[in-house]
Amino acid sequence: MVLKPYPANNFTSSRYLYLSLSATWKINHLKLETLNLSSNALRTLDNIHSTPHLLVPEIQDNLLEDIDRPLFFPKLKNLNISSNPIRVLDENIASLSSLGLLEAKYCEIELISIDLSRFKNLQRNCLIELE
């Protein structure tokens, strides 16, 4: 199933979208600012496309083992990937230069292979627990 902003379903002006069981959806929404994909058993972020205004994606409590492709969200402020079996934070996260809050609690992080000091405000707001 493909979710696109058609005038008939009023998605063109939506700024917040909550999808349940969204692993089957493709998200292509140019004005979306907040996207809640929590608790959907997602294994990949491949379904998120063309969301240049996205500020806050909530993807906690899924089955993501890694961020498997570079994320291109030029305005992203907060990223919540808590409660996912993610083991490595690598260059796919490093492209998020505007990131102010990275929440990765209750993950299985074993390796952080990026320089977190590259982020403007992240040092004060990084909530990562290493096991």
Q: What is the pLDDT of residue 5?
A: 43
CATH code of the domain in which 81 resides? 3.80.10.10
Question: Which residues, including other chains, have CB under 8 Å from residue 10's CB and lie 6 or more apart?
Answer: none
Q: What is the pLDDT of residue 10?
A: 43
Burial of 22 (0-12, 13-18, 19+ CB in 10 A): buried
In the chain, which ranges are continuous DSSP H helix?
91-94, 122-125
Cα R_g (the chain), whole angstroms: 14
Segments forming the whole domain that contains residue 23: 2-128
Q: What is the pLDDT of residue 12?
A: 47
Q: What is the pLDDT of residue 103?
A: 82
- The upper half-sphere exposure of residue 107, i.e. CA atoms within 13 Å in the direction of its Cβ, equals 28
- For the chain, what is the domain count? 1
pLDDT < 50 stretches in the chain: 1-12, 21-24, 123, 131
